[in-house]
Structure 1
Amino acid sequence: MTVKLRGIPETEAAIGWAGAHAVVVDRPEGKAGGQGLGFNGGQLLGLAIGGCLCNDLYYVAHEMGIGLTSVSVDVAVTFEGTPLLATSAAVQIAVETADKTADVGTLIQRARTISAVSNSIARGVPVRFPG
């Protein structure tokens, strides 16, 4: 999987894309030239963790034959130090099902087990900068 980012002319923001999907990346307005045109990197990290988990909840629900009527995932990422580093991510999950007897606990546990982004971060995925 590859994503690309390029600076947006006449701004200090960037646009990132993968396939036909795009997102704007920027700093908050007034911070280091930011205009608040899009998400910052920390927000994107939280969205990556939560978005991957949401998808996994739906994948597992389909495998288990469970119809989900509501999915809620909240991610709080904590940053500390200099340079600023993500030191933890707290995830809260709530799902509702059409079948009130469905095994929601197993559904959530299985989704957590296969969630690629949070598992990769937890295992310390290496980032390489050639050159």
Structure 2
Amino acid sequence: METITLELQQHSETAMKLQNDQFDLLVDRPVAKGGGGSGLMGGQYMLLGIGGCFCSTFFAAAQSRGFSIEGLLVKVNATISDDLPKRFTDVKLEVSYDRCSDPSSFDKLLKIAEQGCISVNTVKNGLNFSAIAG
């Protein structure tokens, strides 16, 4: 089984930093929520991961079938629970484009991307989670 490991290091009193060879990402809360406002919140990164993974899977499906897409736009909409523990209860992707070489296949590509995306499959099927002292 393949494993992916990310390492976050403390960046400030409220922020964590992911650093690799090409870029840095900061995870923080907005100032209004007690953070420093230096990055997206973790939940926003989670939604970014879902949308980004979906798109890369969508592009791979389109390219492998010889379709071209231009101006792809994905709006990630998430509903946060009113009750505790706070969590996303619904995530919906609204996907549009400026140009598609085969518009009649667009819905089929959406389904293929949904079924092939690791992030979407994880959200739909759940995962085991633990936090341990290391």
Say whether the fold is shared (TM-score over 0.5). yes
Q: 1:119 to 1:101 in 2, by over 3 A?
A: closer
Question: Partner of 1:108 in structure 2?
Answer: 110
| Partner Cα distance (1:45, 1:100) in 2 | 31
**Secondary structure in 2 aligned to 1:103?**
helix
User: Does the aligned pair in 2 maintain the 1:73–1:92 contact within 8 Å?
Assistant: yes
Give the strand-richer structure, 1 or 2: 1
Tell me whether 78-87 or 16-25 shows the greater mean CA deviation.
16-25
Matched, 1:63 2:64: yes
| Partner Cα distance (1:47, 1:27) in 2 | 16
Question: Partner of 1:126 in structure 2?
Answer: 128
The offset of 1:76, in angstroms, is 1.2
Tell me whether 15-24 or 34-43 shows the greater mean CA deviation.
15-24
Matched, 1:52 2:53: yes
Question: Partner of 1:16 in structure 2?
Answer: 18
User: Does the aligned pair in 2 maintain the 1:8–1:15 contact within 8 Å?
Assistant: yes
| Partner Cα distance (1:47, 1:17) in 2 | 17
| Partner Cα distance (1:100, 1:119) in 2 | 26
Q: Where do 4+ consecutive residues of structure 1 move more than 6 Å?
A: none
User: Does the aligned pair in 1 maintain the 2:72–2:97 contact within 8 Å?
Assistant: yes
Mark the runs of 5 or more structure 1 residues left unpaired by the alignment. Answer: none
Tell me whether 40-49 or 97-106 shows the greater mean CA deviation.
97-106
**CA RMSD in angstroms, aligned pairs only:** 1.9
Q: 1:107 to 1:82 in 2, by over 3 A?
A: same
Mark the runs of 5 or more structure 2 residues left unpaired by the alignment. Answer: none
The offset of 1:12, in angstroms, is 2.0
Q: In the alignment, which of 2, 6, 10 is matched to residue 3 of structure 1?
A: 6
The offset of 1:130, in angstroms, is 3.1
Matched, 1:88 2:73: no
Give the total of aligned pairs. 129
After superposition, give the CA deviation of every residue in 1:69-98 in whole Å (9 maximum; x if it has no partner).
121111112221222112111111113445
User: Does the aligned pair in 1 maintain the 2:67–2:102 contact within 8 Å?
Assistant: no
What percentage of aligned pairs have identical amino acids? 24
